[in-house]
Amino acid sequence: MPGSNPGHGMLMTRHKQKRDTAPGGGSQRQLRVGELVRHALAKLFSRGEVHDPVIAGHLITVPEVRMSPDLRLATIYIMPLGGRDEADVLAALERNRKFLRTEIARRINLKFAPDIRFRLDDRFDEAQRIDELLKRPEVRRDLESPQDDE
């Protein structure tokens, strides 16, 4: 047909690509970068490269690092061994945040050095609380009683 536009009248849509997300929350890339940050920090702590008496006097574990989707923020979950002096350790990490961020950037090849923030890992406390709830007599009774819905 003369003067007709072949694409006229057809709706052109763009399909959004589905992101590859991992079950732990976040994309594979976020998880991978989080692990790189975690390993870099673990090496810094284990080798005593942070010159702070509070950090040097504690064994600090880094069970998890969560990255923001744009990889510009790393939330670092820490736990001092034995759970002692948590507030002091957090304060020491905050004092040394600039140094730690610089070292992470130096060890990990990213376009931007992520801003870092520290949080206490309270998963063990939560698991212990749930365990204690399950051991209570009234909960055990409810869990062990036969179901009436059969």
CA-CA distance, 83 to 58, in Å (whole number)? Answer: 10
In DSSP terms, 60 is beta-bridged to 80
The structure's pTM equals 0.67
Q: What is the CATH number of the domain that holds 120?
A: 3.30.300.20
CA-CA distance, 100 to 145, in Å (whole number)? Answer: 54
- The number of beta carbons lying within 10 Å of the beta carbon of residue 131 is 9
With respect to residue 115, please indicate whether it lies within any of the assigned structural domains. Answer: yes
With respect to residue 70, please indicate whether it lies within any of the assigned structural domains. Answer: yes
- The tally of domains found in the chain comes to 1
With respect to residue 13, please indicate whether it lies within any of the assigned structural domains. Answer: no
- List the pLDDT tens digit at each of the 150 positions of the chain: 555 555 554 444 444 444 444 445 679 999 999 999 999 999 999 999 999 999 999 999 999 999 999 999 999 999 998 777 899 999 999 999 999 999 999 999 888 889 999 999 877 666 667 777 777 788 777 777 665 554
With respect to residue 126, please indicate whether it lies within any of the assigned structural domains. Answer: yes
The range of the structural domain enclosing residue 91 comes to 28-144
With respect to residue 94, please indicate whether it lies within any of the assigned structural domains. Answer: yes
